[in-house]
Structure 1
Amino acid sequence: MFPVLVPIVLLANGLAAGVLLWSVIGGVPMLRWLPAARYVETEQFWGNRFEPFQPICVVLTAAGDIALAIIAGLPAGPLFGTAGMLAVKVLLVSLTRNVPIKRWVMSLDPGRLPADWEQRDPRARWAKWNLVRSSLAVAAFVLNLVAVATTLH
């Protein structure tokens, strides 16, 4: 089971962390630079392209890491377990912070933004929580790499 789970976890975690890191480095700065209507249009264009890919990668990471934590033994087991808990936190931040913001933006008409857009513009809040979940995903990836390294002889 170990030789099957490790590549799945590393691939899923690497893809999730990579996409999230891209969003921090390139996506968020671009979205914050765009005029409001273009931001909404761009977010709506991107919005469904990462679904369900991104959540599946994070769920595979969490589930695989938890399984690896159980079967790996010392010293890798606790590292896999911690990485799995970080992946769960990525899911929690996504579901409680980023997804509600995204759903609201996806419901908007870019040609008729709310009159109070300036007060409701979600970009700063979304960017903050995206940075949190991206940091968690990258930290999980680093822990997974260290865990795998501890198993090499």
Structure 2
Amino acid sequence: MGDIRTLAQKVQSVTQPQQQQELAQKFLKGKFDLEDFLNQLRTVRKMGSLSKLLALVPGAGNIEVDEREFIRVEAIIQSMTPEERRNPDIINGSRRQRIARGSGTSVADVNNLLKEFYQARELARKLSSGKLPKMRRR
């Protein structure tokens, strides 16, 4: 069984309320970038093992997580220039190759990260504008 109160306390222990609010506003406006994503990733890592954190969320305790994926994602983002992190739309093929070489990953890994980032950003935009498609009940 999860323990949301403990999870909330862990979040508060590693972040400032103002930071949380600013990030939430950026996310809801669909304006967050890879710098914000990297900061969130680091915040989660400061709280401890993701598996232990998920155990605090009701119904999520049995989700398997590969902690090495966080290290890989952080390496990819850190291999980007600050400009690329702030504006990922400028990342073309040659930049993707450089980022992959610098992070010790493949271009496919870089592409997957960018794809997931764009999907999350689009979801945030839809949430903020109320254009999220209605889910059907089964």
Larger Rg: 1
Structure 2 length normalisation: TM-score? 0.36
More helix by share: 1
